[in-house]
Amino acid sequence: MAAAPPSQASANAMPGLARALLQAGRLTSGQIDGINKHADVTKTPFIDALLAGGLIDGHGLANFCSETFGHPLLDLSALNVHTLPDKLLDIKLVQSQRILALSKRGNKVAVAISDPTNTQGLAQIKFKTELTVEPVIVEHGLLLRLIEKIGQSDTQNINELIGNDIDSGFSEVDSDATSDGANADIDDAPIVKFLQKILTDAINQGASDLHFEPFEKFYRIRFRVDGILREIVQPPLAIKDKLAARIKVISKLDISEKRVPQDGRMKLTLNKTRAIDFRVSTLPTLFGEKIVMRILDATQAQMGIDALGYDPDQKALLMDAITRPYGMVLVTGPTGSGKTVSLYTCLNILNKPGINISTAEDPAEINLPGVNQVNVNDRAGLSFPVALKSFLRQDPDIIMVGEIRDLETADIAIKAAQTGHMVFSTLHTNDAPATITRLMNMGVAAFNIASSIILITAQRLARRLCSCKQPADIPHEALLQAGFTHDELDGSWQPYGPVGCERCAGSGFKGRVGIYQIMPITPAIEAIILAHGTAPEIARQARADGVRNLREAGLVKVKNGLTSLEEVLGCTNE
């Protein structure tokens, strides 16, 4: 006696594949009920319970689906996995929906699927890729094995990069934002450990910046060490989105926004006494988001002024200037020349319980306890001038302005220096004399400049020679052309050059040393400023006052064996 046909309600409640098998007479309603019960008990999808029951094999089911739903049939055992599109679909989506991308042509993507009634999965693929999805029927068991193989390959590649030298409990990334925007991809243990290892390696190598860069065919991570970018690793391209999402969550950025740049901060706790801050910047590129992380190590400001590379006479001039009761000290130089570290070193020297220090920065890079630090926010109306005006009502002793960018900021800073406050700030100029003319070009009155500024320091950073350095054979004429005098080339010293060893990773350089031009504003220079003199006139007077220019200061470092002649020639102008 044939089984009674199921009611319309019970048929609608069946999985789509079960309904198709029932309507084709391949299964009875009783058999389907048994398979559903097995699926409920084992917590597996219907198709898994169906094949486990042995009522139909994988090959037979694939043929049935192809004939019934009109989709082409493919034997996955004959497929070359290397021809699959490179990470068109996220591995998590592939694993959850059991659908694998086979090829992409124009605006169409062919996908391998064993259950063509999985319309939800096909809809997700269409939404994620914004392509027309064309299903191709494959055997269920072969599809699952191929997906597992691909997933293991990605995890294995990441684990190989992680190695065995990192413990997930060694350090903890501060994350206050993981509860809302995070999804399962972001919390992948291999991704978390991999990012942790990259950050730890960057700190251990003394990097200043980390670059996470996606390209069409590869993904690379580079560190900037001693001012030079070095490629560190090329992880699997598949992790670029997960890694970006992880970084954005712990930096309190919007993980759903990938179309515009974003800026944030994060913190890595190394131990109970040391934590490193990172400034994070994202940038949409053709093949994903490029992320650059600036390492902000507060210990740099606590190294002491002697570690920065000031010559004894320069240190004496700087210390005399910053300990004055009022006036302005300016630090100039290009981006990445160490201006912030120099300023914070001075602030750290002056940071005492009896001194009130306030800073306005964009943004605050180094956290210095005891100093009132303010991040300017132009969109919110908190600009440098607004912050400075507010500082003057906060009973300050010392004010630091991150950068003088316009006349209004310059005027307020100068008035603060003239009314009994010590003011520190930075400008972007080539050398100390050019700073005076830069302020004049902004519109600052000459008498205000002459009466407020007490010292200007220009600086560069040169790579410091590693201990593997060796004497360099440089022709006498080349040394003269570089700027040495005949009297200095008396044979009492020896120039050195880079060699390369394991300690310096073969570069021949380890760390950096500052090159400084320290120019106090003497009465003679004041007279030139009041007469609206030019930068060359100020430079000539500074030289007459005994101020070394940047090239001459760099040659002193060469003479002392701290850096190479090539480094000094590369970062200074005559």
514 vs 76, which has greater pLDDT? 514
For the cut 50, the answer to whether the pLDDT of residue 48 exceeds it is yes
Whether 298 shows a pLDDT value over 80: the answer reads no
- Name, in order, each residue with C-beta under 8 angstroms of 420's C-beta and a sequence gap of 6 or more: 325, 326
pLDDT band for 180, please (50, 70, 90 cuts): very low
Residue linked to tokens 């009297």: 487
Q: Which residues pair with 461 in a beta bridge?
A: 514
Measure the CA dihedral 413/419/423/429, to 10°. Answer: 50
> For the chain, what is the mean pLDDT?
84
Dist. CA 220–CA 541, nearest whole Å: 50
Q: How far apart are the first and last CA of the chain?
A: 105
- β-pairing, 509-520 vs 453-465, is antiparallel
Write the CA distances from 427 to 82, 165, 386, 514, 536, integer angstroms.
54, 43, 19, 17, 18
> Average pLDDT in the 444-467 region?
93
Q: Give the integer Cα–Cα distance in Å for 537 and 515.
A: 22
Residues 6 or more apart from 468 whose CB is under 8 A from it? 498, 499, 500, 501, 503, 504, 508
Q: How far apart are alpha carbons 248 and 282 in whole angstroms?
A: 8
* Over residues 91-114, mean pLDDT: 86
Most confident of 165-169, 275-279, 318-322, 402-406: 318-322
* Three-class DSSP labels, 173-238: ECCCCCCCCCCCCCCCHHHHHHHHHHHHHHHHCCEEEEEEEECCCCEEEEEEECCEEEEEECCCHH
User: pLDDT (tens digit, 9 = 90+) per residue, 1-10?
Assistant: 344 454 444 4
Read off the pLDDT of each residue in 177-202 and give the average, rounded to a whole number: 67
Instruction: Say whether pLDDT at 166 is over 50.
Output: no
CA distances from 82 to 109, 213, 433 (A): 17, 24, 62
Q: Tell me how far apart the alpha carbons of residues 133 and 124 are, in angstroms, rounded to a whole number.
A: 10
Instruction: Give kind and range of the element (H or E) at residue 104.
Output: strand 99-105
Helices (H) and strands (E) in the chain, counts: 21, 19
How many C-beta atoms surround the C-beta of residue 276 within 10 A? 19
Burial 357-385 (b: 16+ CB within 10 A, else e): bbbbbbebbbebeebebbebeeeeebbbb
Using DSSP's 3-state secondary structure scheme, residue 152 falls into helix
Strands (E) across 417-525 are located at 422-427, 453-465, 470-471, 496-497, 509-520
Q: Is the pLDDT score of 21 beyond 70?
A: yes
pLDDT tens per residue, range 316-349: 999 999 999 999 999 998 888 888 889 888 998 9
The single-letter DSSP state of residue 303 is S
The 372-375 sheet, strands edge to edge: 372-375, 357-361, 398-401, 422-427, 327-332, 453-465, 509-520
Residue 515 sits at the vertex; the CA angle it makes with 447 and 503, to the nearest 5 degrees, is 155
CA distance 404 to 86: 48
